[in-house]
Structure 1
Amino acid sequence: MIAKIIYGETCTGTLNYVLGKEGMQVLGYGNTFSQSISPKFFGSVLYFQGQRNATKNRYAHISLNLPHGEHLDDKTFYKVSKEYMENMGFGHQPYVVVRHTDTKHEHVHIITTTVKEDGKVLGIFNSHRRSMATRQHLEKKYGLTPAPTTRRKEQIQIHRLPELKVGTDATQGTRYYLQDVLNSINQKYKVRSFEELARLVRPYHIEVKTAKTESGRIGLKYGLDNQKGYRTSFINGSEVHRNLSGPKLQKVFDIHSNSKLLPMHRKRLLKQIETTYDLFQTIHPYELEEVLKDYQDIDIKLDKNENVIEGYTVYDKSMYVFRSRELSQKTRMQNRLDIFGNGNEPTRIDTESKQFKLEVQKLIKEAFTTSYLKFPKQTGLLSEHIMTKNFGDIGPVLIASKKYSFLERYIPKSQQKEFRTALLAAFPMIRKKLFEIETKKEKTALQNKFDLIGKVLKNKIFDVGTENGSVRLLFQSLGVKYHDNNLFFTNSNRHTVPVELGKLSFPENMENYVSSGFVHQNHLMLEALSEKSSENSTKLTAIAMFLPMIFPKLYKRMNSEHKKLYESLALSAYLKNAERTHAPFEKSPKDYIAFFNAKGFYFTRGEKGFKIKSIYTGNESSHALSKRTSLYLSSIPNLNAVLNEQRPVIKNLLEEGRNDLKNLWAGHLLEKGLYDNVTYMLTAENVRPNLHREVIQHHMDNGLQQCLVQVSQRQSSFKRNRALRKGVYAIGNWIGGSSYKEEELFNGFKDEFTDFTKFKGNGKGLSF
């Protein structure tokens, strides 16, 4: 199902179109005193309520569109529409649901106002994101076909194409179609001119006409002509939508054309395309699209006129659209006949070119790096790995790479042997060069760690010293070790930095392996704490929240002043990640709060806006939400009641002892789709993930339940087998499901799994 929302300043034209369509059917009204009112009377009610506020977004025009071949009866479609409006916050507004039958797919139009009876405006923040979550919720509930979730990677869905008619009045049939396509084009691309806009909308049978008025303003008109019997008169752009008029679009085009980033994107593309030309001896014109996509990840489309290729258009990841001649005369196919020839030559790589030799070098370098990183626990540094591997060791990794497959595909069969010979011949030289580069990087990295340790100790971020070897905790958290007045990497003795600390007695657990990802995040965090700033906060990820779980002894020694800053930075990093993971489920600002509450986070409101706190940090630690997010939460009608509803949720988590970071970590792994890891934590460690039930149910349906069953079947121990199967039921009971057949079999485990009373009283005090 596809849902579309368009906000506008007027509703007359929309009402005339929706209610005046031939064969239209009113399925029902929302929040009117009767279902027997006339469309004209409803229009008056809607108009007068919308005029109680001067906002430009007074009215909303929504359409819900089913894919071709999918059917809902009138009663069900109205029910879906009603639930959509309730979830989107329009549940108390007057609205009408109208069904149209003028297209091959079934769809309804919903018209409402954002102005409430008291003249205030509904909070429509994040409405398109909420619409996506609401749509996905309804698709799952009613068994509807899911719509694409990534706009730019999918082709624009032309789901409003009118029926083939002759002489149809444009005012009755095309405005919404024009809005739909033109808005989609302008969201997908950074259009820079009316000429470019005309090219982009041509495949959708839309014609664009421009004319300059005496005052210098640009007039714009749109029309439809599919050359198969459907043609309309031209409509002024301002009549289609106020933002689609000539002057409005010209301002947008000027912004895109004058962007300082535009020359950078053009220069990058030019270099990428020229690099491609340098690699190939010949390219068949019809294979250029595939070559550029596989080699440079560039999307192009050939420009053809009666099957004659005139050039190509680049649809860049920057959202800009470039013609080949716009980049450079050198990139035009007509000017590179040495490569494109007469159009009949097969595509072949030039194995004698300088670019081919560079690709061979990159291929070997990537194989070294990949073969090193594929091990979950690296023994030694990359430089050591490089010098201990021969071609036979990295050969399988090299051959399995996409780059190798790409090169091999376009090398003539007669030169395949020379290709492998070139790889073997280049291997010793590339290995030596890469070894030298990595050695230099590693020495610099170790020196940086030494300098950071000095800053941390100077600023007294942690209460550590040389007595009893407690400074080892700081060393370990940065991936280094100390021995005989020298600092080394934890997993290698190759590089050293002199450190005069004397003879220290360190226990063996200093050598324990810690994931490089956690070490890197800890390094960034300690840099930020040393400078007492948040400059590195943009580089921090959700992992920063779990550093006290990975380095518990060290973070217990953190001084209170720095601890408050750490917790604020960690909350900020986790907030950004959580907002992204919640987006597919967040139907309203109430959901925003509910999903965070289930994870152990809660919100407080002050004079300057909202702050987020957690049960994993101190009560004084918080992070201020952005102004937009604060406004989003403020749009909740019964906000005080919703904030008060946080109390029992948070209190329950504390009473059950779930303020341990392991519970949050289990939920984080679930959201990453690492079901095997969660299965182990759930069954072997008795950890209960802190996640909302709706999210848990989603992951159960997407493979968690199956993973639990599969793991239980692989275990030979009856006791282990039984415990794992209990885990399946335990989660099912937890999320309130009733479809799990093991319920009666494992009632005893149910009590054991859900009895957290032994943890009561261990929670931290909270202040709302």
Structure 2
Amino acid sequence: MIGSIIYGETCQGTLNYVFGKKGMRILGYGNIYSQDISKRFFGDVLHFQGQRNATKNRYAHISLNLPHGEHLDDATFLKISNEYMDKMGYGEQPFVIVRHNDTKHEHVHIVTTNVNEEGKVLGIYNSYRKNMATTQYLEKKYGLIPTQRAKEEKELPLYRLPELKIDVDNTQGTRFYIQDVLKTILQKYEVRSFKELARLVRPYHIEVKKTKSQSGRIGIAFGLNNRQGYRTRFINGSSVHRQLSGPKLQKVFDIHLRSKQLPMHRKRLLKQIETTYNLFKTIKPHDLEEVLREYQNIDVRLDTNGDTIEGYTIYDKSRYIFRERELSKNIRMLNRLDIFGNDDEPTTIDTESKQFKLEVQKLLKEAFRSSYIKSKKQRGLFSDYIANIHPKDVSKHLLESKGFQFLHRYVPKDQKEHLKMAFANAYPKVRDELYERETKREEETLKNKFRLIGKVLEKQVFNVGKKGGSVRHLFQSLGVRYHNDKLLFADSDKHSLPAHIGKLDFPQDMQEYVSKLFVRQNHLILEMLTEQSPGNTSKPTAAAIFLPMVFPRLYERVNPAYRYKFDSISLEAYVQYAERVHAPFEKSPKDYVGFFNAKGFYFEKGEKGFRVKSIYTDQNASYSLSKRTGRYLDSIPNLTAVLRDQDRVISTLAEDRRDNLKNLWAGYLTEKGLYNSVAYMVTNENIEPNLHKEIVQHHMENGLQKAIREAITKKSIMEQNRVLRKSAHNVVSVSNSRGESEEAYNGFKDELTDWTKRKRKKGRGLSF
């Protein structure tokens, strides 16, 4: 179910449209003393209440649309609509629910006001998030078909288009249809001209007429012409909506035209398309859309005039739209008959081209990297992995890649063997070049780590030193180690730098393995703490907040001033992540607070706005919410009581001993969908995820409950086997006491530690 909300300054036109549709049915009224009232009376009530405030967003026009093929009876649709209004904060407002049957998609219209009886405007902040969460909640509750919510995959609304000539002067119906289409198009694309806008609205039977007054003022008008006997008069853009007047649209177009990113997008697209042309010998015009989509992830549509293809239009991921002629005349289909002129020939790749050879090398490099990433725990450096990996492992990942499958599809049938040979021949060169490049990169990385360690020690970020070997915790957290007056990577002896520190003791509680994910996060954090972070560096992710859990012996030695700074940085990263994760569930600002409270985060309101703190970080560390989010929280009717109630939630977490980062980590893994890991923590370590019960229930239904059941069963079987092994050991001990025993087979020693089996032999090539 898709919910759409349009705010406006008046309501009469909306009501005329909603009530005036042929075949409409009023399902019910909300917060009106009687259901047996006239439409005119309701309009007077709504108008009177909305005029109590001078805001421009006095009224709301909401539509709830079901996917094609889904059906609801009137009673159920009314019930869902009432619940939607309650969840969105309109539960005490006057509203009407009207069902239309003029489209293939069943839908209702709801008209209400944003002004309450006291003349105050309702909190409509973050209405997009509330709408998304509410519709998802109702889908789940009533068993409706889930709707794809990715913005780029939403289709423009084709509903409410008049199909027959019923009323040429049906201005209100025309106005709201045009408003819906234009609103969606201007949100989806960075339109740069009236001409471009006219092309985009043409499939929706909307015509655009541009005018210019004697004073030079630009005007715009819109009309409908479905070429089936229905044609309306043109309506001024400002009458359709105040933001759709000629001057305001021109201002938007000028902003898009002046964007500094526009030339970069043109240059990028031109290079991608030229690369594609260089790869192919022939392309059937009708195959171009599929070729560019699969090879370059570019969305193009052919421009046709009858049966003639005149070119194509590019709908770029940047939201800009380009015609082929706008990028370069050299890529126009009419000027590249060497590629597009052989319509009788199938679309084929030129296996003798330079681009084909480059593509083979690129796919091989990706296969090396993919196999390394998917290897167990990524032991060792990438260069070591390249030197020792068996070609069959690379071949496996290569054959599974989309790039290889793309090449295989368009290589001529009689050249399939040539394709395999091309990869086999390129393998040694690619391996050696990749090995050399990664070796140089690793050398520079080790130098950067050496400099960073020096800066950390100089600024005394951590209270570590030679005594007790505590400085080794710092080395380990950055993925390096100290041995024989040298600094080396933790899992390789290949690179080293002289570091004359002297003899260092080994702490008794040194960890054996550290995740490279957290090594990268710690490196970013330490660069920020020592102000060594370059301008284009990546920002820490939500995982940064867990560093004290991963490196406890190091972060328990952090100096207070740097602890405060670390907590503030990691808190910001986690809050920004959590806001995105909560959005599909967040039906109100009260939910916003509740979801964070359940995780161990709480809010304080001061003179400068809202700040968020956590039970896992320094109490003085906080992250200031944006002003918009602050206004969103201010819209909670009983805000003081909600903020006061946080103490109860936080105290409960402490009483249940869930004020530990491990509980937050379990919640983080749950949100990532790593249910098996969470199930292990729940069943073997008694660690419950710190998440709101609504979100926990969602994940339980999505697979977490199944994973926990399997983990419980597995644990039970393991305990039974342990008892049996203990009994068997006692029997064997008695038997062995009577004679000589044989050495038991050690699978770990014989199979996993025999590194001679894994050494790369010279002369091995890529095989398929």
Q: Confirm or deny a common fold (TM above 0.5).
A: yes
- 1:640 paired residue number: 640
- 1:286 paired residue number: 286
- 1:305 paired residue number: 305
> Mean alpha-carbon deviation: is it higher for 420-429 or for 619-628?
420-429
Whether 2:363 is the aligned partner of 1:363: answer yes
CA contact (8 A) 1:21 1:172 kept: no
- 2:737 paired residue number: none
CA contact (8 A) 1:98 1:110 kept: yes
CA contact (8 A) 1:166 1:231 kept: no
Whether 2:184 is the aligned partner of 1:184: answer yes
The percent of aligned pairs where both chains have the same amino acid is 63
Whether 2:103 is the aligned partner of 1:103: answer yes
Residue 528 (structure 1) shift:
0.9
- 1:363-512 matches, within 5 Å, as 363-507=363-507, 510=510, 512=512
Name the CA distance, whole Å, in 1 between partners of 2:607 and 2:532: 25
Name the CA distance, whole Å, in 1 between partners of 2:425 and 2:485: 43
- 1:53 paired residue number: 53
Residue 244 (structure 1) shift:
2.0
Whether 2:520 is the aligned partner of 1:520: answer yes
- 1:90-239 matches, within 5 Å, as 90-239=90-239
Name the CA distance, whole Å, in 1 between partners of 2:533 and 2:617: 19
CA contact (8 A) 1:525 1:536 kept: no
Deviations 1:589-615 (A, max 9, x none): 000001001111110100000111111
- 1:624 paired residue number: 624
CA contact (8 A) 1:65 1:159 kept: no
Deviations 1:358-413 (A, max 9, x none): 11111221121112111132232111121223534422222221111111221112
Name the CA distance, whole Å, in 2 between partners of 1:571 and 1:166: 60
Q: Secondary structure at the match of 1:130?
A: helix
- 2:760 paired residue number: none
CA contact (8 A) 1:312 1:323 kept: yes
Residue 641 (structure 1) shift:
1.1
- 2:11 paired residue number: 11
Q: Secondary structure at the match of 1:613?
A: strand
Name the CA distance, whole Å, in 1 between partners of 2:547 and 2:205: 56
Q: Secondary structure at the match of 2:256?
A: helix
**Cα distance change, pair 308–370 in 1 and its aligned pair in 2 (3 A):** same
> Mean alpha-carbon deviation: is it higher for 693-702 or for 50-59?
50-59
Residue 176 (structure 1) shift:
2.2
Task: Say which structure, 1 or 2, has more relative contact order (CA 8 Å, 6+ apart).
Answer: 2
CA contact (8 A) 2:30 2:95 kept: yes
- 1:22 paired residue number: 22
Deviations 1:467-509 (A, max 9, x none): 0100001011000000111100000011011111101122476
CA contact (8 A) 1:96 1:111 kept: yes
Residue 153 (structure 1) shift:
2.2
Residue 229 (structure 1) shift:
4.0
RMSD: 2.1
- 1:244 paired residue number: 244
Name the CA distance, whole Å, in 2 between partners of 1:706 and 1:232: 58
Whether 2:44 is the aligned partner of 1:78: answer no
Q: Secondary structure at the match of 2:112?
A: strand
CA contact (8 A) 1:324 1:331 kept: yes
CA contact (8 A) 2:114 2:122 kept: yes
List gaps (5 residues or longer) in structure 1.
Answer: 722-768
Name the CA distance, whole Å, in 2 between partners of 1:157 and 1:712: 49
**Cα distance change, pair 3–393 in 1 and its aligned pair in 2 (3 A):** closer
CA contact (8 A) 2:589 2:636 kept: yes
Name the CA distance, whole Å, in 2 between partners of 1:684 and 1:247: 66
> Mean alpha-carbon deviation: is it higher for 491-500 or for 365-374?
365-374
Look up the equivalent residue of 2:377 and give its one-letter code: K
**Cα distance change, pair 435–719 in 1 and its aligned pair in 2 (3 A):** closer
> Mean alpha-carbon deviation: is it higher for 204-213 or for 707-716?
707-716
CA contact (8 A) 2:682 2:708 kept: no
Name the CA distance, whole Å, in 2 between partners of 1:476 and 1:215: 72
Q: Secondary structure at the match of 1:343?
A: coil
Deviations 1:338-370 (A, max 9, x none): 111232221111122111111111122112111
Look up the equivalent residue of 1:193 and give its one-letter code: S
> Mean alpha-carbon deviation: is it higher for 326-335 or for 152-161?
152-161
CA contact (8 A) 1:534 1:569 kept: no
Q: Secondary structure at the match of 2:152?
A: coil
CA contact (8 A) 1:391 1:424 kept: no
Name the CA distance, whole Å, in 2 between partners of 1:294 and 1:603: 46
Look up the equivalent residue of 2:365 and give its one-letter code: K
- 1:276 paired residue number: 276
CA contact (8 A) 1:70 1:106 kept: yes
What is the number of equivalent residue pairs in this alignment? 722
Name the CA distance, whole Å, in 2 between partners of 1:22 and 1:274: 53
Look up the equivalent residue of 2:294 and give its one-letter code: D
Whether 2:318 is the aligned partner of 1:318: answer yes
**Cα distance change, pair 509–286 in 1 and its aligned pair in 2 (3 A):** farther
- 1:749 paired residue number: none
Residue 53 (structure 1) shift:
2.4
Whether 2:693 is the aligned partner of 1:693: answer yes
Name the CA distance, whole Å, in 1 between partners of 2:535 and 2:606: 26
CA contact (8 A) 1:528 1:535 kept: no
Residue 652 (structure 1) shift:
0.6
Residue 683 (structure 1) shift:
0.6
> Mean alpha-carbon deviation: is it higher for 517-526 or for 619-628?
619-628
Q: Secondary structure at the match of 1:119?
A: coil
- 1:264 paired residue number: 264
- 1:62-77 matches, within 5 Å, as 62-77=62-77
Deviations 1:707-758 (A, max 9, x none): 233445566717579xxxxxxxxxxxxxxxxxxxxxxxxxxxxxxxxxxxxx
Name the CA distance, whole Å, in 1 between partners of 2:486 and 2:511: 15
Q: Secondary structure at the match of 1:303?
A: strand
Look up the equivalent residue of 1:272 and give its one-letter code: Q
List gaps (5 residues or longer) in structure 2.
Answer: 722-768
Residue 440 (structure 1) shift:
0.8
Residue 181 (structure 1) shift:
1.4
Deviations 1:425-444 (A, max 9, x none): 22222222111111110011
- 1:553 paired residue number: 553
> Mean alpha-carbon deviation: is it higher for 158-167 or for 247-256?
158-167
- 1:43 paired residue number: 43
- 1:609-688 matches, within 5 Å, as 609-688=609-688
Look up the equivalent residue of 1:334 and give its one-letter code: L
**Cα distance change, pair 658–534 in 1 and its aligned pair in 2 (3 A):** farther
Residue 219 (structure 1) shift:
2.4
Residue 104 (structure 1) shift:
3.7
Deviations 1:611-634 (A, max 9, x none): 111111122221111111111111
Q: Secondary structure at the match of 2:345?
A: coil
Look up the equivalent residue of 1:346 and give its one-letter code: P
Look up the equivalent residue of 1:316 and give its one-letter code: D
Name the CA distance, whole Å, in 1 between partners of 2:511 and 2:675: 29
- 1:578 paired residue number: 578
Name the CA distance, whole Å, in 2 between partners of 1:512 and 1:201: 62
Q: Give the TM-score normalised by structure 2.
A: 0.90
Look up the equivalent residue of 1:138 and give its one-letter code: L
